[in-house]
Structure formats: C-alpha cells, structure tokens
Structure 1
Amino acid sequence: MSSVWQYLTLGLDREIFGIDIESVHEILDYRAPAALPHAPPFLVGMIDVRGQSYPVIDLRTKLGLPAIPVTPATRIILLNIPLRDRALRVGFVADRVIEVTELDRAEMESAPEVGGRWRSNYIAGIGRKGDAFVVVFNLEALMAGDDPALLEPPLAA
C-alpha cells in the first residue's frame, strides 16, 4: 500500500500548509460571509453554497497571524472534516491556494516539540515539496480548540 497521499497546498503569510485532499469539497473565490453575532474572532461568518450553510474560519486569525486585506488570490476552501460522530462542514479563508501535490506520509516528520512556532497538536506532520516545507494540518485538532495555533507572534519581516 502506497504511503503517497494527495494534499491541497495553500499559503498563509510565508508558510505553506497542506490539507488532505479527501477533506476538500470545493474551492471558491472569496466572498464576504454574513457576520455572526458573538462569534469567536476566527469565525468570520456564514456563506450559503447551493443551499448548504458553511461557517467560515479565517485561518490567519485561527493561527494567530495578523489579518490582511482580501486580495484577488484570497480563496474560501470548503471542507468536510470527519469528526468522531459526524462530518463538520466548514470553509477556510486562505491567502492563496497553491496546488494539489503528493507527499509521502512515510517521509513526513512530526511537529517539533521545542522551538517551533506552532502548537504541535494542530499538525499531522511536516512534508517536503522540493526545498519547501509543507505543514499538514490535523483538521480535527485544529477545529477542536479556540486557542490560536501560533504559540508566539511572528517576527516582523
């Protein structure tokens, strides 16, 4: 059985993240979600896609990165995340979608426990695509908590 798996790669800030392609339902051009009162800061609102409601998560806010204005490259990635008792339908706002790529799970490294910027429980593994690192999300863990995934603010560029 092959350990090569397909991932949708997306960009946030200067980081590249991967989402298991099996969880990806659709990729949309950005559109402003309808606001939800008293929602956590990372939940920017709801959108309707052909009669289905999707809560929309700003991945930058969820990861503790600074907000940026929407650009022509901004996308909403619609996901069906398998949880223990149900599937969670959600949209993620990403700065940009890069491509669908293959990563070998057998060669993935685990998240660093010390010195890393990210909460390791949000990371399923770290793969390589050429010279770049791809941080693969553990979607269930990412959606389970309200804490930012970034442990400390990024250094100014």
Structure 2
Amino acid sequence: MNLPQVINSESTPTNVQHLSFRVRKARYALPIELVREIIEYGQITTVPMMPACIHGVINLRGNVVPVLDLAARLGAELTQPSKRTCIIIIELELNEQQQRIGLVVDAVDAVLDIEAADVETAPTFGAGIRTDFIAGMARDERGFTIMLDVRRVLSLEDILELNRAVARAN
C-alpha cells in the first residue's frame, strides 16, 4: 500500500542551484532560475550616450537584448574579451514585464548546489563601501563565492538606461 508522503519544512531541500562564474579573479554566483542561456561573446552593437558599464545590445533570435559589463558595474575596468568571455542571459521581472539582460563575464565555471548552511551574510566593511549587491557569501573548500543580488546590481537607474538602449536600437 502506498501512503502519501507528508512534506514538512524539515524534509525539504535546503540547497539552491546557482550558476558560478568569474569576473576578474573573484567567483560569483546567480540563482540558476534567473539564467536563460549562456552565449559566446559576439557582435555587440554600441549605443551612444550609455554608461560605461553598458556594452550595448545584441540580437538574440530577433530580440534586442541589452548587455551589461559586470566587471565595470562592480567597479573594475571594462572587460577585454578573451576566448572564455561569455554573456549570461538572465531574465528578470521588471515593472510587471519579463526583461532579458546579458551580463558579460570572464568565464562560466559550473552549476553549484549551495546549501543554506554554507551561506553567510555579506560582511560589513564600514561606511562608504557598498555590500548591498551581495545576497550572501557561500563557503566551500576553495574559499568564498559571492552570491549576487542581481536586482541590486542592476539598480533602477541602470534598468532605465538598459530600457533606453533597447528603445534606441529598435
């Protein structure tokens, strides 16, 4: 006889899959549920009068997708593409609409199962240093992976600029 299984909070999994990638020498991760695809770094059309962190737009199967340089957004120099440079296409709900955005990263590493017990809150560095874009810090044998809060990385002003870039490209 098969009895229905009762699922309670103690038996539900506490790990969440994240896509890990590198920007400069740091390891970062995004929840896999936001990732739609990973593509090679390719033809990007620049859009005039955009902030330095916005590379431009790409044509993704007939759709205009804005592309943001994650290194530049995080305060480093613009990415110089290499063989491993790629664009992670994410999808977010913004203003009750689904918006696809490309994030330029130095390399994609793997899909990680991150246990909730292995996640620490972002450290406080003191006044003047922003950590609001960090959702948490995942510990493993190699050190820490910075789990990004992509909605904070892409601030409202950046999102408005991305929408303007798409509108100019159309």
Query: Per-residue CA shift, 1:110-129, capped at 9, x if unaligned?
Result: 11112699621101111023
* Counterpart amino acid of residue 111 in structure 1: A
Aligned mate of 1:111, from 119, 122, 130 = 122
Is 1:20 the counterpart of 2:31? The answer is yes
In structure 2, distance between residues paired with 1:93 and 1:119: 21
Corresponding residue number in structure 2 for 1:151? none
Corresponding residue number in structure 1 for 2:139? 128
Show the 5 A alignment for 1:1-157: 1-83=12-94, 85-114=96-125, 119-144=130-155
Structure with the larger helix share: 2
TM-score using structure 1 length: 0.85
Percent identical among aligned pairs is: 29
In structure 1, distance between residues paired with 2:156 and 2:34: 19
Q: Which runs of 5+ in 1 are unaligned?
A: 148-157
How has the CA–CA distance of structure 1 residues 68 and 46 changed in structure 2, closer, same or farther, with 3 Å as cutoff?
A: closer
**How far 1:146 moved relative to its partner?**
5.7
Q: Which runs of 5+ in 2 are unaligned?
A: 1-11, 159-170
Higher-Rg member (1/2): 2
Q: Is the 8 A contact 1:82 1:140 kept in 2?
A: no
TM-score using structure 2 length: 0.79
